[in-house]
Structure 1
Amino acid sequence: MGQENKTQTWVSEFILLGLSSDPETQIFLFVLVLTMYLVTLVGNVLILLLIRLDSRFHNPMYFFLSVLSFVDLCYANSFVPQMLALQVSGQKSIPFYSCVFQLYISLALGGSEFFLLGAMAYDRYVAVCHPLHYTVIMHGGLCLGLAAGCLAAGFMNSLMETIITFRLPLCHNVINHFACETLAVLRLACVDISFNKVMVAISGFLVIMLPCFLVLFSYGRIVTAILQIHSAQGRSKAFGTCASHLTVVCMCFGATIFTYLGPQSGSSVEMEKIVALFYALVAPMLNPLIYSLRNKEVMAAFQKVLEKFRDKE
């Protein structure tokens, strides 16, 4: 045990292997990731500005969407700039405490996003199943409380998982990943990690499955309510208010459940990196696009902003 603790104190930095060791592939991945990152920034900032500037979007649904966009922005910024900088400089090292902080922030924001998707499902349930009482039930205090609760739950879960991960004695400092990620760091441990695997499973259940159950329950009630609407136009309108959120839910929950709760195989390490890149960068990039392209109000507001800029020119 003394030797294990000594080994742990020697780990002052980690080496990130990244997505590929091939120089040409690295250039392609750098351009691809940079492009996706810029689209993520522009898309989410634009969503935030539209919601802030247009009074039509000052309601619970768009409040939660603005919080989701803010979380996505912070999520992408928690590791992508460093990832790009490491690729450009060729320096693959990251200080120990920077790795700890990166893991904590990314886990916290990722967990918060799942709780937010659950809260957004509840908002859609109230809007479809109790439309006459929607503004009374989803008042400002409740919306703020739900958003704050989602963030608090995400950060508390991340704190627990980060502490038990980095308390392990580490025999190696080479992380086979493009960022500091729980499963990748656990593989560096010198000791049995069965307890940590159990805690990851419990954390996954709390952060992923509980919001997922809330989403399933909400949409079960929503589908029942929609089927009771007699007019086809009414059913289409009711479903249209939920389509964007349901698309994002399927995308985010599906990728993460596959990563953390799916079966392990020999190729799981490389698959984890691909799926992690998906839910950490692709999903935040697609979220504003999905909500914009499937929402006539957002597209109209965007066109209005473009017209204002053209008039100024």
Structure 2
Amino acid sequence: MANINHTTVTEFVFTAFEDLQQLQIFLFILVLMIYATCVSGNIMIYLLIKLDVSLHRAMYYFISEFAILEIIFVSIIIPKFLDILIAGRNKISFVECFLQLYCADATGAVECCLLAVMTFDRHLAITNPLHYFPKMSQAFTKLAIFPWIAGLVVASVLTIFTASLEYCGPNMINHFFCDLTPLQSLACSNTYVTNMVTSIACIFGILLPFVIIVGFYIDIIIKVLEIKSADGKHKAFSTCFSHLIVSSLWFGTTFIVYIKPSDSQHDKFFAFIYTIVTPLLNPFIYTFRNRDVKHILFKWLRNLSSWIKDKLHIRTKA
């Protein structure tokens, strides 16, 4: 033990997907297109909800908040990943690495808690529709703030304990961004306490919101099955189907990466799904599986088409 080199690591190097060297350009184009689509799609959802008065309701506020979180989340990870793919700049300083870790964990934890809050909103609307508006009006501010407080606290704990470990080499991160497990696996010091804290934080930040979502949906299904009319059942299920798909995609891949303790070689491929692919799908799920948002989107597109035709008609006459 006395011969261990305790030189402090000042930077980390991402291995990313270096084993797919021949596909780097293709991967860069693919990720860039996904990033542009994800950002523009979520901006569209945010603007639709912000500018249309008919969508100024709690459910759509939470959807717009989720859209902003998705933009922040992918912007924390993807630009650096693109830089690695196209320019080969795979190094990141110690401080920048842990800043990226904190921001990604905070945004991810906030999204987990927000998905639980959105489930509560749907549960209240379906199981207690007569008291939905007064109860939601009273609890709205707390429900909007809670995910941010919980997410920032969980991320702070994870980052502080991970950064407090001793890093003396190697400094190669088998990933495309600074994530918990790859970083902790590089530590020279004992990681037992940090691993325990990480597990507890993941329980509060990921597992608990998931359990809450499952519990609410079980009650929603029981209440919906009590509805006699088929139209009533379809309407009740359709209001939460988009959220159910998004929650399944998000928590499914997140569990694989964070809940299990081992550092798998496949973690970065699962991380690719939940950091890049899932955020791409969410705008389409919320747009095309939500009747109100889809109706307003098509109305905007029709108005835009009419405006363009009018302009072209005026120019043709001139």
TM-score, with length taken from structure 1:
0.94
Q: Where do residues 158-307 of structure 1 align in structure 2 (5 Å cutoff)?
A: 158-170=155-167, 171-262=169-260, 264=262, 269-307=264-302
RMSD: 1.7
Q: Which runs of 4+ in 1 moved over 6 A?
A: 1-5
- The separation in 1 between residues aligned to 2:90 and 2:242, in whole angstroms, is 38
**One-letter amino acid matched to 1:244:** S
Cα distance in structure 1, aligned partners of 2:63 and 2:2: 50
Q: What letter is aligned with 1:49?
A: L
Task: Report if the CA contact (8 A) 2:14-2:172 is conserved.
Answer: yes
- Written as runs of structure 1 = structure 2, the 5 A alignment for 1:8-157 is 8=8, 11-139=9-137, 142-157=139-154
Q: How many residues align?
A: 307
Once residues 230 and 3 of structure 1 are traced to their aligned partners in structure 2, the CA distance between those partners, rounded to angstroms, is 75
Q: Secondary structure at the match of 1:179?
A: coil
Corresponding residue SS for 1:7: coil
1:130/1:3 Cα in 2 relative to 1: closer, same or farther (>3 Å)? Answer: farther
Partner of 2:217: helix, strand, or coil? Answer: helix
Aligned partner of residue 178 in structure 1, secondary structure: coil
Partners of 2:101 and 2:128 in 1: CA distance: 40
Q: How far apart are 1:205 and its partner, in Å?
A: 0.7
2:266 aligned counterpart, secondary structure? helix
Q: Does 1:308 align with 2:303?
A: yes
1:19/1:178 contact within 8 Å kept: yes
Task: Report deviation, 1:232.
Answer: 0.6
Deviation at 1:259, TM superposition (A): 1.6
Structure 1 residues 6 and 101: CA distance shift in structure 2, 3 A:
same
Q: 1:22 & 1:150 partners in 2: Cα distance?
A: 38
Question: Is this contact kept in 1: 2:113–2:209, CA < 8 A?
Answer: yes
Distance in 2 separating the partners of 1:167 and 1:3? 22
Secondary structure, aligned partner of 1:191: coil
- Report if the CA contact (8 A) 2:24-2:86 is conserved: no
Residue ranges of structure 1 left out of the alignment (5+ in a row): none
Name the CA distance, whole Å, in 2 between partners of 1:52 and 1:275. 33
Where structure 2 has 5 or more consecutive residues not aligned to the other structure, the ranges are 309-318
Shift of 1:263: 6.8
Cα-to-partner distance string for 1:201-251 (whole Å, 9 max, x where unaligned): 111110111111111111111111101111011011001101111111111
Report the Cα offset of residue 3 of structure 1. Answer: 7.8
For 2:46 and 2:55, the matched residues in 1 are separated by 10
CA distance in 1, matches of 2:2, 2:166: 10
Larger radius of gyration: 2
Structure 2 CA distance, aligned partners of 1:308 and 1:49? 15
> Aligned equivalents of 1:254 and 1:127: distance in 2?
26
1:4 and 1:306 mapped to 2: Cα distance? Answer: 65
- The 2-side partners of 1:261 and 1:161 are apart by 14
Q: Which amino acid aligns with 1:155?
A: L
- Provide the rounded CA distance (Å) in 2 between the counterparts of 1:226 and 1:3: 66
Q: 2:315 corresponds to which residue? A: none
Given the two structures, how large is their TM-score scaled by the length of structure 2?
A: 0.92
Using a 3 Å threshold, how does the CA distance of structure 1 residues 3 and 81 change in structure 2: closer, same or farther? farther
- Tell me, in whole angstroms, the C-alpha distance in 2 between the residues paired with 1:150 and 1:112: 5
The DSSP-based 3-state class of the residue aligned with 2:7 is helix
Paired with 1:102 and 1:260, the residues of 2 have a C-alpha distance of 17
